[in-house]
A and B are shown apart, each in its own frame.
Chain A
Amino acid sequence: MNSENLTGLEKLLREGPQPINLGLRGFGEALRHQGVQVIHVEWSPPPPEVRDLEDLLDKLLL
């Protein structure tokens, strides 16, 4: 099958994961140990004013 016709999930299975890790640092490290290029996000909770704006945007988008 032409890879352009594959869904995003099918491509993931075919090509293997290229992950972005948010949360437990160990999950990213375990992926790196398996030879996978992983990007770890140094995530922190959004400030309350940003959170309110995000909530509003989410409601508009839903």
Chain B
Amino acid sequence: MARICRIHKARYLDSVFLMEVTRRLQAEPGITQGAVVMGTPANLKLLLSLGFPEQDLKEAGPDDLVVAGEGEPQALQKALTKVESWLSGERRGEAQAPKTLIQALALNPKANLAVISLPGRYAGKEARRALERGLNVFLFSSNVPLEEEVALKRLAQEKGLIVMGPDCGTAIIAGVGIGFANAVRRGPVGVVAASGTGAQEFTTLMHKAGLGISHVIGVGSHDLSDAVGGISTLCALAALEADPGTQAITLIAKPPSSTVLGLLRERMNKLSKPVVACFLGLIPPEIARALGGRLALTLDEAVVKTLGVLGAPCPSFLASYEASPARLARTQRPPLAPSQRYVRGLFAGGTFCYQAQLLFHWAGIPFRSNAPLLPQYALPDPWRSEGHALVDLGDEAFTEGRAHPMIDPTLRYERILQEAEDPEVAVLLLDFILGHNASVDPVGELLPALAKAQEKVTQRGGHLAVVASVCGVEGDAQGYGSQVEKLRAVGAHVLPTQAQAAGLALSLTQGRHEQ
């Protein structure tokens, strides 16, 4: 068995492309381990844990590409030659392509948006360059320092531009999805969102309710903090107010600080268009008082209230959204064994994990989470569930050195099998997110794990209930209907919304956790 590490200095390739190259390397005959990654500390740690010698990796830094493989000597040489050709195949496309933002602008001087997903330490500089040249910015990158975010947003504000992000996953501008977005129809609802998956759930539900979306303007998860002061949110509200295609506005975020709430309320009161504010979190009484009927506590409620302000009818799948999971649970009696008591929520969407926690909290059911709503709900070891556990698999603890679970199913696949080993597991609660840039078949990739897990539990004399929601529409490349059918074929309960799925999971185990 041989091990080889090759370092390509100052060679950057994006993580999703490298994930594909890694998959292809690992599938080569005679290869026992392989990774093609940027030399970030997390990736180097991963390579060390796989047994690659420190000596071979010491020259690698975060700007360098590392190709590492282990296998039969001849097979390894052959596979690494193939990796070089895959990588240089990528490079061939670079010959005529611009190397900098400035060169790209020379090719299209009318460009009006920079979409930036570079490593955080470079993203801020490129965003500044874009703003200085009059471009709006969609900033997917995380790890941009807060003070840099504030400076960028102030610069954008001065110039009448916007910074969507950092850490912005979703936008839809004039019908064009940017980042993780779904193929929803255009219509009268404008969205300002600090949560990417929150925006995806809201827009797909609005589409299924028969209405459409004018724009989704992402603002990044820190925008409503005291430090940032809601700069992008306030700019987005003003732009949607001026937009002739927008008739109502929905804001989706965690609850703001009291200072930012004051600014928001002032702006919202001046708007000529109705606004619904969906603040996912524990709402202080001052926010509830300030917003009154404009406040929505779940994404389902945000859709219902937005339909209401537009005078649009509420579809049946949302009309009794609070009561339907409990009603469904009364008719569904899965043959659980006495030891089976708990829900294990394994989420790709961080907002879905958060919303599920809210529903458990409001129901007074104790649970654990790696991204806890309150400190007392913290899961001591994110890698091991206990009691009712709601796990955000997109959390940094899990994504260091690998792609997000919306793209790479490996981690959730393994976790499903792990949960099936626990005799206390009664329900697996899962979210599936469709749309641009998401996995090509999120359900199909997990079906073998679900089948194995169900078989394992059945062999023990129990039954593993699977409760799921699929965030998407028929026009998404993955196809909403076919994804739902695949889940139903393995006996999963598929609910029309994620909040309803969490509600059903809760209802199916109601009372069992006390036994």
> Measuring CB to CB, which residues of chain A are less than 8 angstroms from any residue of chain B?
1, 6-28, 30-31, 33-34, 36-45, 47, 54, 58, 62
Q: Does B433 contact A (CB under 8 A)?
A: no
One of B15, B101, B174, B179 near A13 (C-beta < 8 A): B174
Interface segment, B154-162, B322-330, B336-344? B154-162
Question: Given A16-B173, A18-B113, A45-B10, are A58 and B125 neighbors across the interface (CB < 8 Å)?
Answer: yes
Q: Does B332 contact A (CB under 8 A)?
A: no
**Which residues of A lie under 8 Å from residue B100 when comparing CB positions?**
41, 43
Question: Do the beta carbons of B117 and A17 come within 8 Å of each other?
Answer: no
Question: Given A22-B117, A34-B177, are A47 and B10 neighbors across the interface (CB < 8 Å)?
Answer: yes
Q: Chain B, 131-173, contact with A by CB distance < 8 Å: what is the 0/1 string?
A: 0001110101100000000010000000111100000000001
Question: Given A12-B113, A18-B111, A20-B135, are A45 and B174 neighbors across the interface (CB < 8 Å)?
Answer: no
Interface segment, B235-243, B271-279, B354-362? B235-243
Q: How far is the CA of A9 from the CA of B118 in the complex (A)?
A: 22
Q: How far is the CA of A36 from the CA of B178 in the complex (A)?
A: 11
B115 to chain A, nearest CB (A): 5
**Which residues of A lie under 8 Å from residue B151 when comparing CB positions?**
62
Please report whether the interface of chain A is mostly helix, strand, loop or mixed according to DSSP.
mixed
Q: Does B17 contact A (CB under 8 A)?
A: yes
Question: Do the beta carbons of A13 and B215 come within 8 Å of each other?
Answer: yes
**Which residues of B lie under 8 Å from residue A44 when comparing CB positions?**
10-12, 99
One of B63, B94, B108, B214 near A20 (C-beta < 8 A): B108
Q: How far is the CA of A45 from the CA of B242 in the complex (A)?
A: 39
**Which residues of A lie under 8 Å from residue B173 when comparing CB positions?**
12-13, 16-17
**Which residues of A lie under 8 Å from residue B128 when comparing CB positions?**
58
One of A9, A18, A37 near B161 (C-beta < 8 A): A9
One of B103, B161, B437 near A27 (C-beta < 8 A): B437
Question: Do the beta carbons of B243 and A41 come within 8 Å of each other?
Answer: no
Q: What is the chain A residue whose CB lies nearest that of B181? A: A30
Question: Given A7-B160, A18-B113, A62-B151, are A43 and B118 neighbors across the interface (CB < 8 Å)?
Answer: yes
Question: Do the beta carbons of A20 and B11 come within 8 Å of each other?
Answer: no
Question: Do the beta carbons of A42 and B98 come within 8 Å of each other?
Answer: yes
**Which residues of B lie under 8 Å from residue A41 when comparing CB positions?**
97-101, 103-104
B15 to chain A, nearest CB (A): 7
**Which residues of B lie under 8 Å from residue A24 when comparing CB positions?**
14-16, 117, 140, 437
Between A and B, 14 residue pairs with Cβ closer than 8 Å are A10-B243, A11-B112, A12-B113, A20-B115, A22-B117, A23-B140, A23-B141, A24-B16, A26-B16, A28-B115, A34-B176, A43-B99, A43-B126, A58-B128
For A6, A11, A21, A30, which residue has the most chain B Cβ atoms within 10 angstroms? A30
Question: Do the beta carbons of B101 and A8 come within 8 Å of each other?
Answer: no
Q: How far is the CA of A12 from the CA of B312 in the complex (A)?
A: 28
Complex A-B, nearest 4 residue pairs according to Cβ-Cβ distance, in ascending order: A23-B117, A7-B160, A16-B174, A45-B63
**Which residues of A lie under 8 Å from residue B98 when comparing CB positions?**
39, 41-42
Question: Do the beta carbons of B117 and A27 come within 8 Å of each other?
Answer: yes
B297 to chain A, nearest CB (A): 29
Q: How far is the CA of A18 from the CA of B10 in the complex (A)?
A: 29
**Which residues of B lie under 8 Å from residue A47 when comparing CB positions?**
10
**Which residues of B lie under 8 Å from residue A17 when comparing CB positions?**
112-113, 173-174, 176, 178
Q: How far is the CA of A30 from the CA of B105 in the complex (A)?
A: 20
Q: How far is the CA of A10 from the CA of B136 in the complex (A)?
A: 10
- Please name 15 further chain A to chain B contacts, defined as beta carbons within 8 Å, in addition to the given A12-B112, A12-B136, A19-B138, sorted by A numbering: A8-B162, A13-B239, A16-B176, A17-B112, A19-B115, A20-B104, A20-B130, A22-B114, A23-B141, A26-B16, A30-B177, A30-B437, A39-B108, A42-B93, A47-B10
